[in-house]
Structure 1
Amino acid sequence: MTNSNQLKSQVLHSLKWVALGKVLTQIIRWAMTFWVIRLLLPEDYGVVAMADMFAGFLALFIGGLFAPAIIQTKELSQTMLKQMFGLIIVVYSTMFLVQYNLASVVGNFYQSEHVTSILKVTACLFIVKAIAIIPTSLLARNMAFKHVSIISSVANITAAVTTLVLAYLQFGFWAIIIGEIIAVTLRAVLTLAVQPITFLPEFKFTQVKPHLKFGGLIMLHSIVFYVFLHMDVAIAGRLMSVTEIGVFAIALQFALMPQKKILPLLKEVAFPAFSKIQDQPQRINAYILKAQKMSILLTIPIFWGLASVIDQIIPIILGDKWLEAIYPTMIILFVMPLRFSEELFNPALKSQRKVKHMLHNVSIMSVVMLISIVLAAPYGAVGLAAAWACGFPIAYGVVACRNANLLNIKYRNIAKLFLAPVAAGIIMLIVVFTLKQYTGEIAVLNLLIQIAAGGVAFISALYLFDKKLIVELISIFKRSPKRHD
């Protein structure tokens, strides 16, 4: 088998296992998450969202510092791993102390004692994560995604069940926090069982420093990207009530659910795969265009389809107390295919160490979105959602053009990928919204009818505009790569 075919087979096999784990897990998690949302209040999600702002920001300081260096380094010695382990312990212990000691300051900023309590409790997760970084990175480096998927499924399902039980027992926002602690801890324990650490840490960092420059740039990019993604809640936290923030947080959570489950699947496999061919830019460019084509083909019917029936889904699944989240969710869903497409460039850019380029990209997007969010924040959750709908397409256009120039891909070739799926998506929306005039009552049967009609409309229109896309998509799913466990 040639190296090209072997890599393709390995990638498809990895995607199969990651997809299998994600799909089975998320069917269960989504059902339980919706049930939890019905049990909890907007205020609960508002408090958690504000606490996550600071905890997530701290995590980004170190989240991309070590793993990318381990995965991307061609020659990985035992001494380097020992020194990496020692540095991980030092850095993560420092972050634990920072979060614990600044918890009161953050709580005072948001005028919430609950935020302080959450941050002090979740600070311990830094210690748990530190132990699992090297084993997790080695599994990814070796593309052992069968083990990764099984571990993730067990941890996530256990955490979801725990969260549901605690929410039913009226633990409020603590149900979410305890569930997250269980997920992180169980994932670390199972990862160590599969890929144990058989060496002690060294606290000399001579061999680690050259590799951390790359990780440091990834870390800086992650920090700016986090600010970009969460500046809406950060700004709104001072201008809106906790209830309004909770409504927007649920709108985001609902809209981001497909992306959070599908995109990590692709990026988890894509970065190690691109790293293996990092010195073959032509092959990378071909894979980029293919990945973008498939992502646009899938994300437009998924996200736009959800947007078209979200007025049915939220009352049925979440209940009437979340009706205010309908329009923010609908607005955000329409822009999600662009967000998906933008992030899908990053594994290839990262594999070629183009992190400074990525940093410039996210800085441009942050400036555009900051202006849009500041103007829209006074108008509540709908205003914040509209900020994304207005600002992000502009930011995407600039960044996609920059990426195309860097990768020697014609920008019009990227733009062409949108034509048939967007046209089919518009027809799908017209069919669904027309059907609503005759099946406007909120009911499960009407929801199913609208989903079926939208799906048929999209596939029929896509076949009319570009039937080769459907044939290509079917051929990908028909492939059965050989095992490479």
Structure 2
Amino acid sequence: MTDSSNLKNQVLHSLKWVALGKVLTQVIRWAITFWVIRLLLPEDYGVVAMADVFFSFLTLFIGSLFTPALIQSKELTQKTLKQIFGMIIMVHASLFVLQIIIADAVGAYYQSDIVASILKVNAWCFLILAFEIIPAALLARNMEFKKVSIISAIANISAAITTLVMAYLGYGFWALIFGEIVSISLRTAMTLFISPIKYLPSFKFSEISALLKFGGLLTGHATLAYIFLHMDVAIAGRYMSAVEIGLFAIGLQFALMPQKKLLPLLKQVAFPAFSKIQDQPERINSYILKAQKFSLLITVPVFWGLASVVDLIIPIVLGEKWVDAVIPTMIILLVMPLRFCEELFGPALKSQRKVKHMMINLWIMIAIMIVSIFLGIEYGATGLAMAWAFGFPVAFIIVVYRNTQLFNIKFSTVARLFIAPCCAGLLMLLAVFGSKQFWVDISLVNLIIQMIVGGSVFLFLLFILDKKSIFELKNIIKSND
């Protein structure tokens, strides 16, 4: 069997286990999440979203500093691992102290003592996460995603149940915080059990300068990526009420649910796979185009389909108190396929160590989105969503053009991939919104009818416009059975 076939089979096998773990847990977790949202208030999600801007930034910072370098490195000795472990402990301890110290200042910025209290509690997560990074990175490096999926499933379901119980008992926003702490603690404990650290940390760092340089570049990129993805709440939290922030946060959370489950699945497998063929540009280009094509075949019907029926889903699933989140959610969902496609370039760029190129891309997107956010901020949650609808497509075109030039792919080749799924998606939207003239009541029956109408129209039109891609996707899935 050729190396190409081996890699393909390894990638498909890994995707199968990652996907299986996601599917089995997400049905349960989504059901619990929707139940929790019904129990909590918009302001609960508002204060958590504001606190999460700072906590998630620090979490992303340390994740980008070590994990990609461990996965991408061609050779790892125990001496190197011991020095990385020592560096991880120093960095995590420093961030724990930093968050405790700066919590009150962040709370003062948002004019909320609750935000400060949340940051002081979840700061302890940094001390726990210090023991997960190396074992988790080694499991990913070896593409042992069956083990990773089982660990993730147990941790996520346990966290969801904890959140639900605490929300039901009236703990409000603390239910969300302690649910996350349970998830991190369980995931770390199980990862250590499966892949234990059998050496002590070393605080001499002579062997890891190259790794830290690469990790440092990725950390700079991750910092910009975080600013890009969270600057809407960071900016709006200063000028808008917790209720408005909560409505936007729930709209964003609802819109991101499919992406948060699909995209990490692909990226988790794609980066190690691209790293294995980093010296074969033609194969990389082929995988990039296939990833873009098949992502559009999946994300357009998923996100645009949800956008067409979210006016029924939110009142039915979340309750009438969240009805003001319908329009922001619908707008964000329409933009999500572009966000998905843009991020799919990341694993290939990282495998080629094109971190500076990625950082320039982010600076471009940040500049465009800052203007859009300040233009939309006075219109509340809907204005923030409109900022994404108008700003991101412009940024997307510029960034994708830069990426295609880097990989020597014609921009028109990528653009053509959008034609069939987007045309089918637009007609799907028209069909669903047309059906609302006949099925107007907010009910589960009407929701199911409209979903069937939309799905049928999309599949029929895609079969007419690009049936070759449908059969190709079917064969890829079938080949891994």
Answer yes or no: same fold by TM over 0.5: yes
Aligned residue identity for 1:120 = K
Alpha-carbon separation, structure 2, partners of 1:238 and 1:78: 47
Map 1:198-209 → 2, pairs under 5 A: 198-209=198-209
| 1:158 and 2:153 aligned | no
SS at match of 2:418: helix
Cα displacement (A) at 1:334: 0.3
**So what's the TM-score if we normalise by structure 1?**
0.99
Alpha-carbon separation, structure 1, partners of 2:406 and 2:337: 22
| 1:222 and 2:222 aligned | yes
Aligned residue identity for 1:171 = Y
Residue equivalent to 2:104: 104
SS at match of 1:25: helix
Cα displacement (A) at 1:103: 0.7
Cα displacement (A) at 1:199: 0.6
| Structure 1 stretches of 4+ moved >3 Å | none
Aligned residue identity for 1:63 = G
Residue equivalent to 2:337: 337
Cα displacement (A) at 1:466: 1.2
| 1:278 and 2:283 aligned | no
Alpha-carbon separation, structure 2, partners of 1:55 and 1:480: 39
Q: Which runs of 5+ in 2 are unaligned?
A: none
TM-superposition CA deviations, 1:60-119 (whole Å, max 9, x none): 332201111110110111100000000000011000000011111111111111111110
| 1:2 and 2:5 aligned | no
TM-superposition CA deviations, 1:9-39 (whole Å, max 9, x none): 0000000000000011111110000000000
Alpha-carbon separation, structure 2, partners of 1:145 and 1:163: 26
TM-superposition CA deviations, 1:171-218 (whole Å, max 9, x none): 000000000000000000000000000111000000011111110011
Cα displacement (A) at 1:126: 0.4
Aligned residue identity for 1:472 = E
Alpha-carbon separation, structure 1, partners of 2:24 and 2:246: 28
Alpha-carbon separation, structure 1, partners of 2:165 and 2:68: 36
Map 1:287-306 → 2, pairs under 5 A: 287-306=287-306
Aligned residue identity for 2:347 = P
- Percent sequence identity is 64
Map 1:133-282 → 2, pairs under 5 A: 133-282=133-282
Aligned residue identity for 1:365 = M
Cα displacement (A) at 1:480: 2.2
TM-superposition CA deviations, 1:379-429 (whole Å, max 9, x none): 100000000000000000000000000001010000000000001001111
Alpha-carbon separation, structure 2, partners of 1:59 and 1:260: 16
TM-superposition CA deviations, 1:255-302 (whole Å, max 9, x none): 110000100000000000000000101100000000000001100000
Residue equivalent to 2:380: 380
Residue equivalent to 1:48: 48
Residue equivalent to 2:439: 439
Aligned residue identity for 1:162 = T
Cα displacement (A) at 1:8: 0.3
Alpha-carbon separation, structure 2, partners of 1:426 and 1:118: 43
Alpha-carbon separation, structure 1, partners of 2:446 and 2:156: 32
Map 1:417-436 → 2, pairs under 5 A: 417-436=417-436
Aligned residue identity for 2:132 = A
Alpha-carbon separation, structure 2, partners of 1:340 and 1:218: 19
Alpha-carbon separation, structure 1, partners of 2:239 and 2:172: 24
Cα displacement (A) at 1:477: 1.4
Alpha-carbon separation, structure 2, partners of 1:271 and 1:338: 20
Aligned residue identity for 1:65 = L
Aligned residue identity for 2:439 = T
Map 1:308-457 → 2, pairs under 5 A: 308-457=308-457
Cα displacement (A) at 1:469: 1.4
Cα displacement (A) at 1:472: 1.0
Aligned residue identity for 2:207 = Q
TM-superposition CA deviations, 1:422-469 (whole Å, max 9, x none): 010011111101100000110000000000110000000001111111
| 1:77 and 2:77 aligned | yes
SS at match of 2:65: coil
Aligned residue identity for 1:247 = L
Q: Which runs of 5+ in 1 are unaligned?
A: none
Alpha-carbon separation, structure 2, partners of 1:470 and 1:208: 46
Aligned residue identity for 2:91 = V
